[in-house]
Structure formats: C-alpha cells, structure tokens
Amino acid sequence: MECLLCRLELFFRRPWLGLAMLILLTGLSGCSKAPQEAPPPPVVEVVPVVQKDVPIYYEWIGSTDGYVNATIRAQVQGYLISQKYKEGDTVKKDQVLFEIDPRTFQAALEQAKGQLAQQQARWITSKANLARIKPLAEENAVSKKDLDDSVGLELAAHASVIAAQAAVDKAKLDVGFTKIRSPINGVAGLAKAQIGNLVGPGTTEELTTVSTINPIKVYVSVSEQQYLQTVESRAGGRTGGKIEMFLADGSLYPHVGRFYFADRQVDPKTGTIRVAALFDNPKDFLRPGLFARVRVEMGIKKGALLVPQRSVSELQGIYRVAVVGADNKVEIRPVKVSETIEKMRVVDEGLKPGEQVVVEGVQKVRQDVTVTPKPYEEKPAPAAGEPQAKPAAEQSQAKPASGAGPQPKPEEQKKTEK
C-alpha cells in the first residue's frame, strides 16, 4: 500500500514520466498483430502452342540500283553554254543534255574541209599527168622513170585525200560532241557541272548520271551457307518460291522479282556473295539507293510448332519459355528455336502441341510458382492522334475540378499545418 502511494506521489510530482510509461505500454500492446494472409497467385496471360505447316523464308537487307547506270562526261574540251534537260526527269536516248561552245570546233571543221579540197585538187592533177604519160611510155617517148614518178605522185595524192577526209570526219565528230547526248533511256540525275564550267577529257568531273530503272536491280549479300543451300535446291529441281521485296515503310512491293545474277566470287572479308534480283518498275516509282528487305520462300516446314516471339526469352544464348501445367504451376523450360515468321517463332525442340506458354507477365513467374492463367488478348495499337491513358501516378496529380474551389499555395499549406 505504501509502495502504491509512493508511485502516485511520484506520478503527480513528475507527470512527464507517467506519460512516457503510458505510451510505452500502449506500443507494447499494439505489437501483437494478426498474421498476414498470403498474396494471391499472379495473373498471367497464356497461349497454346500451335502446330501447322509454315513457309520457310530467307530474308536479306539490300538496296536498289539502276539496271544500267551511264555516267555522262564530255568527250571534247570546252565551256558549257547550256543545259537542255530538267534534273530528275526521264530522258530519251540521243536527247541533248548539255551543249559546249561549238565555235572552235566549227572553225576546225572548216579548216579540215579546206585541206581536203587542196588534196583533192592535187590528186586530180596527178591523175591527169598519169593519164598523159601512160600512152607516151607505151611508145617509149618518155623514160620508165617518168612513168614511175607519175604513178607514185598519183598514189601519194590519193593517200593525202584519204587523210584529209579523215580529218574532216574527225572535225565533224568534235562538232557533234559539243552536244552531249544521253546514250540510254532513263532518269537523269543532278547536274554536277554548271554553265560556264570548262569540261572535257582532261577533267575528272562528270556531268551527270542517267539510270535505266525499269526494271530496277536490287543487290543483297547472301551468306555462304544460304548460297550453297540455294544451289543445292536448284540442283534438286526445286526452283524456290517467289522473290518479294519490302520497302523502308514496311509495305510489300506489289511486283514479284526474279533472280538476275550472282557475283563470280565470295567476299573473303565478309563471307558473303553478292546477288542481284530484278523487279518491274513500270511507273519509275523506285529509285536507286532505296532501302529494301528481300524475302525468298525456300520451302514448307511440315508440322512446325509456333509460339509468340515475346514469350521466348534469351540469356547467354539459351532460349527459354514459361510453360503453365495442368496444376497451374510454372515450368521454365529450355527450347531450341529456329525461324521467325512475322510475330511467331518456330520451336524445334522443347514443346508439345497444345501446351500453354506465358506471353504476358513473364517477369512475374519463376520455377514451380503457382499462377492464375487467362487467355492472352493482343491489345490493338492506339490510332494516330488518339491520347493514351495516363499512369495512375499522373492521374492522382491531376488538377482539381473547377467546382472544388481555390487550392492553397504550398507556403500557405505549410503554415496551416504548423
């Protein structure tokens, strides 16, 4: 009794000590909580393994090029005085593209014609002299030497006429070369020489390039293994499937290609051989230098097992999938994969038809964990311009509605809390 009275007296003299004891007793009484419930099994989305016959494709990355690419250069030296075509337009064979100042070459042509006339006159005189000496030589009125000299002069004059005629022809060609023409039908590129530039055989500058682009060529680099497999299939009488081309925007080119040629050797640096295919290009839609993805069907794989690409994970060269069994337990199983067909992957070993593999929620599972599976539903991509749903964190920070009244500033809110 005396001890209790002493404690009460101490409590009234030092009230803070009693308050501390009360808080301590309250905390100890709250430590005994009820046992927590186990979390529910994670929800994952699964798809069954599909078995069907699928085509096997080889794909390569390449680029387009003209069927014929003609580099246009000047064949005579002179100053450009005009450009006769519009860059990027289709030009015809023998169409004039550029013109060089022809006055110098026209003067050379006139000079060559004059020299030709002189040699023709000398030839006529030599022939007349020979015609007079021949009857006299038959009557021994002139010496044999005079006859031989007349014959030689006539032959020399004839040779001079031939040389002068060749000079005239050469001068005519030079005059013709002042009009630079396209050697082929095709699309003309940018002009790399401007009006007033000195051009000719002594300069390395090209004037432009004309490319025939219908049909258009597509170059790809094929590995040695794929090249050998292709050759073996052709030797076995299998010509292979059609050649398709996908453009940079992912669209399929409407025209089917055909094999054109393979290079004479394999590049020892890359281990690939260059192969070309031809595609019709009726409206000149394709231009040289475009990105192209070429696909060739090499055959049909019977009874292939297919799973979505996103269900296959890879770590240090080992491929794995998460398989959900009949008891809803997960098995992380190694598999052997091969070809990729659109969004699906071919599995050669490790799976059976109809087994359920995890597509969505792979990061939630591990070996022997129990899950709640549900069928996988592919979510459509949002349309262009359609706003995407904001995360929950952003939605919680959204502005209040207009009817909620003005909100206090952060400084005022701190003062109110104090």
> 3-16: per-residue pLDDT in tens?
544 554 554 555 55
Question: In this structure, are residues 71 and 209 in contact, taking their beta carbons and an 8 Å threshold?
Answer: yes
Q: Check whether residue 112 and residue 229 sit in a common domain.
A: no
Same domain, 159 and 91: yes
DSSP letters, 51-119, are: EEEEEEEEEEEEEEEEEEEEEE--SS-EEEEEE-S-TTSEE-TT-EEEEE--HHHHHHHHHHHHHHHHH
Shared domain for 165 and 80, answered yes or no, is yes
Beta-carbon contacts of 24 under 8 Å, excluding residues fewer than 6 positions away, are none
Mean pLDDT of 227-244: 72
For residue 349, being part of any structural domain is answered with yes
Asked if residue 384 has pLDDT above 60, the reply is no
How confident is the model over 251-267, as a mean pLDDT?
92
Are 246 and 370 in the same domain? no
Mean pLDDT taken over the chain? 83
* pLDDT on residue 14: 57
Same domain, 284 and 315: no
Of 92, 83, 60, 11, whose CA–CA distance to 296 is shortest? 60
Position 140 scores a pLDDT of 85
Distances (CA, A) of 250 to 57, 145, 156, 216: 17, 89, 74, 19
CATH number at residue 119: 2.40.50.100
Q: How far apart are CA 198 and CA 77, in angstroms?
A: 7
Backbone angles phi, psi at 333, to 5 degrees: -120, 130
Q: Phi/psi class of residue 72: alpha, beta or left (left: φ > 0; alpha: ψ in -120 to 50)?
A: beta
Q: Rounded mean pLDDT of 108-118?
A: 96
Question: For residues 177 and 77, is the Cβ–Cβ distance under 8 A?
Answer: no
Q: What pLDDT shows up at residue 177?
A: 95
Name the token pair of 219.
Answer: 């170059």
Residue 256 pLDDT = 93
Per-residue pLDDT at 235 exceeds 80: no
For residue 398, being part of any structural domain is answered with no
Q: Which residue has the tokens 């809390």?
A: 417
Alpha-carbon torsion (157, 158, 160, 164), positive or negative:
positive
Residues 223 and 261 in one domain: yes
Lowest mean pLDDT among 85-99, 283-297, 367-381: 367-381
The answer to whether residues 218 and 281 belong to one domain is: yes
Instruction: For residue 143, name the pLDDT band (cuts at 50, 70, 90).
Output: confident
Q: Among residues 256, 275, 298, which one ends one of the domains?
A: 298
Instruction: Give the pLDDT confidence score for residue 240 in this predicted structure.
Output: 59
Report pLDDT for 388: 52
What b/e string do you get for 247-271 counting C-beta neighbours within 10 Å, with b at 16 or more?
Answer: eeeeeebebebeeeeeeeebeeeee
pTM equals: 0.62
Phi, psi of 341, rounded to the nearest 5 degrees: -125, 105
Q: What per-residue confidence (pLDDT) applies to 253? A: 94
| pLDDT per position as a tens digit, 263-297 | 999 999 999 999 999 999 988 899 999 999 998 88
Q: Which of 274, 298, 322 is the last residue of a domain?
A: 298
Task: Answer yes or no: do 260 and 332 share one domain.
Answer: no
The residue among 86 and 1 whose pLDDT is bigger is 86
**Both tokens assigned to 407:** 């909100």
Burial class of residue 241 (count of CB atoms within 10 Å of its CB; 0-12, 13-18, 19+): middle
**386 lies in some domain:** no
Q: Is the pLDDT of residue 204 over 60?
A: yes
Percent of the chain exceeding pLDDT 70 equals 79
pLDDT of 72 reads 94
CATH classification at residue 369: 2.40.420.20
Q: Parallel, antiparallel, or unpaired: how do β-strands 43-48 and 372-375 relate? A: parallel
The CATH number of whichever domain residue 230 belongs to comes to 2.40.30.170
Q: Are residues 160 and 183 in the same domain?
A: yes
Calculate the CA 103 to chain-centre distance.
Answer: 48
128 pLDDT above the threshold of 50: yes
Same domain, residue pair 156 and 260 = no
Label residue 237 by pLDDT band (50, 70, 90).
Answer: low
For range 127-144, the mean pLDDT: 87
- Cα separation, 171 vs 116, in Å, equals 12
Is residue 404 in a domain? Answer: no
Overall domain count for the chain: 3
Task: Please tell me the predicted confidence (pLDDT) of residue 8.
Answer: 47
pLDDT computed for residue 21 by the predictor? 59
- Residue 150: inside a domain, yes or no? yes
Is 168 contained in some domain?
yes
Query: What is the per-residue pLDDT across 9-67, written as a single tens digit (0 to 9) for each?
Result: 554 555 555 555 555 555 544 455 556 677 888 898 999 999 988 888 888 999 999 99
> Is the residue at 399 inside a domain?
no
Using alpha carbons, select from 185, 186, 191 the residue that is nearest to residue 208. Answer: 191
* 337 contacts: CB under 8 Å, gap ≥ 6: 312, 319, 345, 346, 347, 348
**Of 298, 328, 363, which residue sits at a domain end?**
298
Residues 315, 272 share a domain: no
What residue numbers bound the domain in which 227 lies? 214-298
Q: Residue 403 has what DSSP assignment? A: G
Q: Are residues 317 and 345 in the same domain?
A: yes
Instruction: Identify whether 271 is part of a domain.
Output: yes
